[in-house]
Structures are given as C-alpha cells and as structure tokens.
C-alpha cells in the first residue's frame, strides 16, 4: 500500500498531468513547475536569428511583398508623383473603408552610403514590422524607401537628404516606423467619434540592434494596442524622440 504522503504526491502528480493534457499551452521548465508557453504571436529569438541572416530589408520582407500584405511606395516618373497619399491617407476610397497604417521608412536594398553604418537597425525594424503585419491584420502595412524620390540625395556616408513628401510627414532619419490612425485619443477623438480622416499619431525613430529586437517588438505591440483605444485610459507614445523614450499619456475620454 501507499503511505499517506506518497499517495498524496501520486494523486497530485496525476491531477497535474491531466491538467497539462487538457491545457497544451502549459509546459514544464527545469524546476518542474508548469508555466504558460509563448503565445503564437510572440517573436522568438530563433526567428530573429534566422531573419537577421538575410542581407537586406527587402529580403526580410519578401514574403509580405509577394502576398501583398506589405505594399511599397512607388514613384511614377510620368506624373512626378508617388502613390503615398493613395496608400497611406487613402484619399481614393470611402471613409468607412479606411484602415490604420503602419509605415516603415528604411533603405530597402542596403546599397550606397545611405544608412550604411547603421543598416543593421533597419533590418531590426523590418523584423518588427514583419511580425506586426502578421498580428494586426486590420492594419495597412506600407514600406517607403526614401531613395525612390528624385529629390533624395546622399549627402555623406550614413546620411541622406529626404524629399519634401516624406520630410513633411516628420521623417528626419531612417529607419523609422510611422503610426497612422483614424482617431487620436489624446485629442478627445474615439473610434466612434472622429472625422474619418487618416492622421499621423506618432513616429518610432531609429531601430533596434539584434539583442533588442524582441523588446522593441513587445513595446511596439503596446504602442499599437493602446493607440487603438483598447484600455480607454492612456496611450503609449514616443513623442517622436530619439533615442526612444516611451511616454504614458493619460486621457479622459468617457
């Protein structure tokens, strides 16, 4: 027969095993205590390491380009214009069909002097945006390489002069991630009460080195989620600062 203490341990282990089978998200770590597995939208170090082996931002985002999940800003030499306003501000579609936008501004091919010394952080932002594109399916995801604009000039190694179009949006450097939405919670707009026009909300300037990519992704989810109005109390903003300093802005929308 089992002694009382051993019987208790046996029954406890049996119940615990049953709970793991019933809840496949529950796994064991070294100390044998059950923990929650990562959610499916978490970015793993394995993913980061594999993607960082790709040579350029364009290489990292190639699957999303092919599927149409990420659309690129292009320049039409016959009109002297890009499709920026069409893709970002969505001027050509009814207001009720407009969607919020995440836009990555970066050097796509990694050629030339532009961002040459910092190109790794552009790849870091590309990984973050690639993962955000998988999670936030209600967003438009846009890529803008400033060098497509004839006004763009490489001034010296690691620096470029942007064209008027992207400069007007507040682009001071690449890489950067722009957040656009239909309502700004800090200005007493809500999902139900707004003018249905796309507006710039915030800019994440710069990008992460490899060891910080996962942290940047988690902060970016917090950034997007709060600005979508999920908590009705506050939003996280960078206030366009570099280096990034996250700011919690409390608002009083009822």
Kindly report, residue by residue over 180-210, the tens digit of the pLDDT: 999 999 998 888 888 889 999 999 999 999 9
- Nearest Cα to 70, choosing from 147, 168, 144, 124? 144
Report helix, strand or coil for 229: coil
Domain 45-250 class, CATH top level: alpha beta
- Nearest Cα to 139, choosing from 184, 172, 90, 174? 90
Beta bridge partners of 245: none
Angstrom CA distances, 199 to 102, 181, 182, 210, stand at: 12, 6, 6, 31
Mean pLDDT over all residues of the chain? 83
| Whether the Cβ atoms of residue 105 and residue 154 lie closer than 8 Å to each other | no
Lowest-pLDDT choice from 104-118, 162-176, 181-195: 104-118
- Place 153 in a pLDDT band, splitting at 50, 70 and 90: confident
- Average pLDDT of 61-71? 98
- Separation of alpha carbons 85 and 80, rounded Å: 14
By CB atoms closer than 10 A (0-12, 13-18, 19+), residue 225 is middle
- Separation of alpha carbons 103 and 98, rounded Å: 15
Angstrom CA distances, 252 to 189, 216, 235, stand at: 11, 28, 11
- Separation of alpha carbons 174 and 6, rounded Å: 63
- Separation of alpha carbons 183 and 199, rounded Å: 7
- Separation of alpha carbons 72 and 88, rounded Å: 11
Whether the pLDDT of residue 5 is over 60: the answer is no
Evaluate the CA torsion angle 198, 64, 177, 166 in order and state its sign. Answer: negative
Tokens of 100: 């919020």
Sequence-separated (6 or more) residues with CB below 8 Å from residue 242: 172, 173, 205, 206
Lowest-pLDDT choice from 14-28, 150-164, 237-251: 14-28
For the chain, the structural domain boundaries read 4-36, 45-250
In this prediction, residue 214 carries a pLDDT of 97
Relative orientation angle of helices 45-52 and 213-227, to the nearest 10 degrees: 110
- The answer, as to whether pTM is greater than 0.85, is no
């Amino acid at each position: 027969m089992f002694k009382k203490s051993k019987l208790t341990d046996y029954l406890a282990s049996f119940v615990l095993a049953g709970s793991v089978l019933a809840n496949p998200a529950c796994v064991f770590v070294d100390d044998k205590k059950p923990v929650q597995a990562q959610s499916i939208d978490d970015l793993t170090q394995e993913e980061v390491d594999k993607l960082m082996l790709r040579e350029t931002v364009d290489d990292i985002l190639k699957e999303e380009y092919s599927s149409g999940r990420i659309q690129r800003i292009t320049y039409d030499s016959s009109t002297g214009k890009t499709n920026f306003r069409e893709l970002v501000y969505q001027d050509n579609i009814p207001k009720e069909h407009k969607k919020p936008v995440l836009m990555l501004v970066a050097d796509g091919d990694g050629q030339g002097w532009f961002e040459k010394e910092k190109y790794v952080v552009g790849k870091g932002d590309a990984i973050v945006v690639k993962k955000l594109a998988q999670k936030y399916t209600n967003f438009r995801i846009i890529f803008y390489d400033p060098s497509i604009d004839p006004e763009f000039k490489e001034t010296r190694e690691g620096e470029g002069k942007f064209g008027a179009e992207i400069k007007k949006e507040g682009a001071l450097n690449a890489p950067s991630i722009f957040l656009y939405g239909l309502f700004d919670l800090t200005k007493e707009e809500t999902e139900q009460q707004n003018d249905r026009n796309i507006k710039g909300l915030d800019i994440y300037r710069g990008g992460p080195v490899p060891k910080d990519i996962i942290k940047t992704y988690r902060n970016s989810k917090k950034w997007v989620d709060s600005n979508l109005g999920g908590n009705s109390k506050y939003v996280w903003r960078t206030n366009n600062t570099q280096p990034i300093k996250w700011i919690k802005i409390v608002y009083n929308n009822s």
